[in-house]
Amino acid sequence: MKWSPSLSSLASLYALTTSAVNVYGASLDVYAPPVLEPRNGDIWVAGEKRTVVWDSSSPPKHITNPYGTIRLRKGNHTLDNLNLGSRFSILDGKREVTVPNVAEGDDYRIVLFGDSGNWSETFRIVQPSADPKHSSNKLKTDDY
C-alpha cells in the first residue's frame, strides 16, 4: 500500500518545521542583539583583555537560544577555530575576551552568536610591538 500525504498532513508538517515551540508550548523568538563594541577605528592589541558589548535592552519574552558565543571574523571568513567566549547569557550585554594572537589587520569583526550571528563594525588588531603605547621605539623623557 502506498502512502499519499493529504493536504492537512502537509500543512501540519509545514507548521511543525517553521515554528519554534518550547516544551511548555510557548512560541520562541529569534533574538539578534546588535554588537556595539568594538567600533570602526578601534585598535585591539593581541594578548590584551577587551570587552565586547552588545545591546541587550529589548529581548523578546521567549528566546530560542539564551546562550552566546563570540567568534572573530577576518574579511569574509569567520575564524571558527577561535572561540573567544561561549555559554554565557546572551542577556549579559557584554563579555571580556582576550585578543587572540593573529596576523595584524584592519578588517576584523566580532561575531556574536545566539540565535543568529551579528557582526561588529570593522576594527584593527595589532601585535604589542606595533602599538605605539607598547613600542620599544617610543622616546623616553631621559633620552634628551
Q: Convert the pLDDT of each residue in 17-71 to its tens digit.
A: 444 444 555 566 788 899 999 999 999 999 999 999 999 998 988 888 899 999 9
Give the pTM. Answer: 0.72
- Mean pLDDT of the residues in the chain: 80
How large is the average pLDDT for residues 88-111? 97
* Domains of the chain, first to last: 32-129 (2.60.40.2840)
| Bigger pLDDT: 22 vs 120 | 120
Cell of 13: 508538517
Number of C-beta neighbours around residue 33 at 10 A = 21
| Bigger pLDDT: 23 vs 106 | 106
